Amino acid sequence: MLKGKTAVVTGSTSGIGLAIARAYAAEGANIVINGFGAPDAIEKERAGIEADFGVTARYSPADMAHGGAIAAMITDAESEFGSVDILVNNAGIQFVSPIEEFPVEKWDAIIAINLSAAFHAIRAALPGMKARKWGRIINTASAHALVASPFKSAYVAAKHGIAGLTKTVALEAATFGVTANAICPGYVWTPLVEKQIPETMAARGLTKEQVINDVLLHAQPTKQFVTSEEVAALAVFLASDAAKSITGVILPIDGGWTAE
């Protein structure tokens, strides 16, 4: 379905981004993966995508905290593959703390990586998409783009910001065959969620089991974690021609969380 297309997926060395990158490769797209991690592990994932799906996969080490590196990642992908047709702004970090004690440098990092990085990548990729009259911009937002939780001020602010950015880009690109949508997962069991459990235990004075059952899954009426593969399947659909009239949508995949 995506043969001949190129997808750049930020934050795809792990979790949801890796699942999306693999799902696009399974549909025939060439892939640029990005993110941090041990060089051996990243190379194994990159080579695995090529071996499993017969596409070309490249790795960009661009730090999503730096606008210049983000723009260069897009330019490099366009030079190598001829186009960036699908852009998934997925890289993200979390920090959990009451706002009075929230470290200022954590606020700045979360706004940079979870919000401003998407602006820089879209700014660089949109001209090519508009010129070719086809493009898909998919932002991994969160249920926290629609509702808040205590102790996540920076994350909730950044994800609400992504919702506004998505709608604005959708309007600007609407007549150019380019869609922009935000996927809003509920809790997905990935390293990002695992890492915030100790912080939430400390912020709320709870045990690990209490955090999982009474904080995380408490929010989700299905009482189950969403899977990365489910999120990836949605990203594949939004990249398809069948989804060309879906744009500017802030779409929950959250087990009913935001229905409450």
Distance CA 66, CA 60 (A): 13
Helices 104-111 and 153-173 meet at what angle, rounded to 10? 20
Decide: 42 and 61 in contact? Cβ < 8 Å. Answer: no
Categorise residue 11: left if φ over 0, alpha if ψ from -120 to 50, beta otherwise. left
- Residue selected from 53, 59, 187, 257 as contacting ligand NAD according to rule CB under 6 A: 187
Q: Site for ligand NAD (CB under 6 A): how many residues?
A: 29
Residue 178 Cα distances to 11, 67, 72, 89, 166, angstroms: 22, 22, 21, 15, 12
Nearer to ligand NAD, 55 or 188 (CB): 188
Q: Which residue in 62, 28, 27, 64 sits closest to 42, CA to CA? A: 62
Task: Give the H or E element holding residue 194.
Answer: helix 191-204
**Which two structure tokens, joined as six digits, stand for 247?**
């744009």
Residue 41 vs 202, nearer CB to ligand NAD: 41
Is 24 one of the annotated active-site residues of the chain? no
Among 2, 21, 22, 34, binds ligand NAD (CB under 6 A): 34
Q: How far apart are CA 17 and CA 51, in angstroms?
A: 18
188 binds ligand NAD (CB under 6 A): yes
Question: Among 65, 72, 111, 148, which residue interacts with ligand NAD (rule: CB under 6 A)?
Answer: 65
With contact defined as beta carbons under 8 Å apart, do 200 and 150 qualify?
A: no
Is residue 17 within the footprint of ligand NAD (CB under 6 A)?
Answer: yes
Between residues 178 and 253, which has the closer beta carbon with respect to ligand NAD? 253
Note whether 252 binds ligand NAD by CB under 6 A: no
Question: Can residue 122 be called a binding residue for ligand NAD (CB under 6 A)?
Answer: no
The one segment of 44-52, 62-70, 124-132, 242-250 that binds ligand NAD by CB under 6 A: 62-70
Per CB under 6 A, does 113 bind ligand NAD? yes
Q: How far is the CB of 188 from ligand NAD (least distance, A)?
A: 4
CB of 125 to ligand NAD, least distance (A): 16
- Residue 255 makes contact with ligand NAD by CB under 6 A: no
Within 8 A by CB and 6+ apart from 248, the residues are 166, 167, 170, 171, 174, 180, 181
Q: Cite the active site residues.
A: 155
Binding-site ranges for ligand NAD (CB under 6 A): 11-17, 34-37, 63-65, 90-93, 113-114, 140, 142, 185, 187-188, 190-193
